[in-house]
Amino acid sequence: MYRSLIRPCLFQIDPELVHHVVAMGVGNVLSRPLLWGHQLLMDREFPQLKTSFCGIPCEHPIGLAAGFDKDATMFHQLHLLGFSHVEIGTVTGKGQPGNPKKRLFRLPEDKGLINRMGFNNRGAEAAAKRLALRTCQVPLGGNIGKTKLAGLGDEAILDYEKSFLALKPHVAYMVVNVSSPNTPGLRSLQDKEPLMTLLSHLSELNRIDGIPILLKIAPDLTESQLEEIVEVVTELKLPGVIATNTTLSRDGLKTTAAKVEQIGAGGLSGRPVFDMSTKVLRFLRQRLPQEVDLIGVGGIFSGQDVYEKVKAGANAVQIYTGFIYNGPACIFNMKRELAALLKRDGVERMGDIIGIESHL
């Protein structure tokens, strides 16, 4: 019903406005009976789908990527939509409005989105206050980025530090986002020297009562840049990497070039990112130590997509655009599809297939 009736109506409305309306609905405790009823009707348990990443157990591999619950207003009820883990943010040291609107665009022909949101959020301290007021029924992650006005040297490090310290008491893991294309200069922090400096500083802050720190990278990195990522992660003994963020590429789109040009700058997510993000995932699994866990992100719309990410090396996956296109039942449906694929192939538990195709 969502794809045939509700989605066509929603797609007539500005996507950012739709997001705000959904956020108000999902975050409101009055919606809990409806969400609970939906979960009761749709959900099924599949013990064979249990997994973990960075020592964090999950009932199944499919979580919510950062970008949906930017300000930590919905996290306490998102488990009712089936997610096995939820990542809030991206949060910055200081609150900021983000880039000028209009800044979120649909590409229905490609099952994609282009966004240039620019880390719009109310800041790390405000998010921490909301996190302190509610519990989360599934593992919760914090995704932190750089405030736009902060410089790229010591200012950036202090900005990340502020967010890290504010969120750390309230989350199970932290993600360092240096890969969004929508904050000027941010992706330069993926270069080896500044990345090593930033992650070393955060790791030092994390020595007492430490939580897993994961790095989120872009899909557009060259092979030599990815090799440097491997060196940094290995040297600092980071427990995990999230692959990947949105892409700047516009190759192979079905959407007309004129429409894409009219939309302008921004990161592309959704189905067009699947192959390149999976390629990065496989590259990392081939080269990183086995104790480094990977989360696959990019273009996941079905249980088959999850299956391919897991076989390429993902311990877990996260979705965003697939959730927008497939609606509130998508996680429950993907779980059933994934369980059926395991049964078809005679796989008793999902952990047995993690990375089995990474060396092909």
Q: What are 325-335's pLDDT values in tens digits?
A: 999 999 999 99
**Mean per-residue pLDDT for 327-348?**
97
Q: Which of 180, 269, 277, 358 is catalytic?
A: 180
Q: What are 264-295's pLDDT values in tens digits?
A: 999 999 999 999 999 999 999 999 999 999 99
- In this predicted structure, the answer to whether residue 309 has a pLDDT above a threshold of 80 is yes
- What are the distances in angstroms from CA 350 to CA 65, 133, 338, 341, 360? 21, 35, 9, 10, 19
Length in residues, the chain: 360
Number of continuous H segments (helices) and E segments (strands) in the chain = 12, 13
Domains and CATH numbers, the chain: 2-350 (3.20.20.70)
Q: What are 112-148's pLDDT values in tens digits?
A: 999 999 999 999 999 999 999 999 999 999 999 999 9
- Alpha helices, DSSP H, located in 123-217: 124-133, 154-167, 192-205
Q: What are 168-197's pLDDT values in tens digits?
A: 999 999 999 999 988 988 888 999 999 999
Identify whether the C-beta of residue 120 lies closer than 8 Å to the C-beta of residue 160.
Answer: no
Q: How far apart are CA 225 and CA 51, in angstroms?
A: 29
Let me know if 84 is a catalytic residue.
no
